[in-house]
Amino acid sequence: MSDRRARALAFGLRAETLAAALLRFKFYSILARRYRIREGEVDIVAQRGDVIAFVEVKARPTLDEAATAISFEKRRRLSRAARHWLATHPWAANCTLRGDAIYVAPRRFPRHAIAAVRLDLD
């Protein structure tokens, strides 16, 4: 792994840890982190009340860059992983399901965007 790639991976892992801390501060329970299947990944699965949030964490040099970094392909992979998580956690089917995003940038407070990612759960 190149040094650049290793730094990017470490930056992303720190961003996910910061995002999980922000969610806990907002009274969410973290149900899963880095939930992966072959077809996709959910960075964080969190619950508050009857809401299950499938959270994509994006870390970029600025919050605006992070906010525009979720591509169609990323939404598709997130949706696949969310469907798989739901299939293995049938109790969650009666909850309100949504795709959130947390944008992280150096020296900035993270931004939690509620229902920022349209999920295809059918």
8 Å CB contact between 90 and 42: no
Let me know: does 121 contact 99? Beta carbons within 8 Å: no
Domain ranges across the chain: 3-117
Question: How do residues 6-35 score in pLDDT, each as one tens digit?
Answer: 888 888 899 999 999 999 999 999 999 999
Tens of pLDDT, residue by residue over 78-109, are 999 999 999 999 999 899 999 999 999 999 99
Helix count (H) and strand count (E) of the chain? 3, 5
- CATH for 3-117 is 3.40.1350.10
pLDDT tens digits along 39-85: 999 999 999 999 999 999 999 999 999 999 999 999 999 999 999 99
Instruction: Residue 34: count other Cβ atoms within 10 Å of its Cβ.
Output: 12
Tally the C-alpha atoms within 13 A of residue 111's C-alpha that lie toward its C-beta: 18
pLDDT at 1 over 80: no
Residue 40 CA to residue 91 CA, distance in Å, equals: 22
pTM, entire model: 0.93
63-74: per-residue pLDDT in tens? 999 999 999 999
pLDDT at position 11 is 85
pLDDT at 5: 87
CA separation for the pair 117, 76 (Å, rounded): 10
